[in-house]
Amino acid sequence: MQVIKLKIKDSIYEKLIWLLSKFSKDEIEIIHEDENFISHKKYLQSELDEILKGEAKFIDVDDAEKQIDDMIKKNHI
């Protein structure tokens, strides 16, 4: 399956969505990318890049649980 990213003028957006909706879900999937999606995508890509470069810092499960518990205690006092 191919992916196409388009910039659409507001004046034709509804018409294009209507046309695309005539295809089955197996043929076309409409993926809405809002600013929140884009910012999360950039963050996750930067995290992945750190891992692939060997620059990521990892912690074990016990340390992660302790950090979470400390944050919960700090925010509820």
2 part of a folded domain: no
40 part of a folded domain: yes
Question: Residue 48 belongs to what domain range?
Answer: 10-76
Contact 16, 8 (CB under 8 A): yes
How do residues 9-62 score in pLDDT, each as one tens digit? 999 999 999 999 999 999 999 888 788 988 999 999 999 999 999 999 999 999
3 part of a folded domain: no
42 part of a folded domain: yes
Q: Phi first, then psi: what are they for 23, rounded to 5°?
A: -85, 155
Q: How many domains does the chain have?
A: 1
pTM over cut 0.85: no
